[in-house]
Amino acid sequence: MVKAATPEFRKYLDKKVLVQLNGSRKIKGVVRGYDLFLNVVIDEAVEEKQNGEVVKVGIAVIRGNSITSIEALERLS
């Protein structure tokens, strides 16, 4: 039986990221956790709307299948 590989996402922990979601939505914040399905927990989250409005979210749990890309906003170690 083949064992499922875990995503190599550990280097993003405690780093500020920009998460692009389905529907052209964007969330910025600090990665606090993730799981095998790349569901992520973002702390200090803010949503950047298309009209330039910024909405403070706080803590966001984002389902992995709604993420289109993740961009690091600070240097990864």
24 domain-assigned? yes
pLDDT value for 64: 95
Query: Which amino acid makes up residue 41?
Result: V
Question: 50 is in which domain, residue-wise?
Answer: 11-70
1 domain-assigned? no
Q: Kindly state the average pLDDT of the residues 29-42.
A: 95
Please give the tally of structural domains in the chain. Answer: 1
23 domain-assigned? yes
3-state secondary structure (DSSP) of residue 40: strand
**b/e code 26-61 from CB counts within 10 Å (16+ = b):** ebbbbbbebeeeeebbbeebebeeeeeeeeeeeebe
Which of the residue ranges 3-7, 8-12, 17-21, 67-71 would you say has the lowest mean pLDDT?
Answer: 3-7
Whether the CB-CB separation of 19 and 41 falls below 8 Å is answered with: no
Q: Is the whole model's pTM more than 0.75, yes or no?
A: yes
Residues in the chain: 77
CA distance 24 to 16: 19
CATH number of the domain residue 54 falls in: 2.30.30.100
77 domain-assigned? no
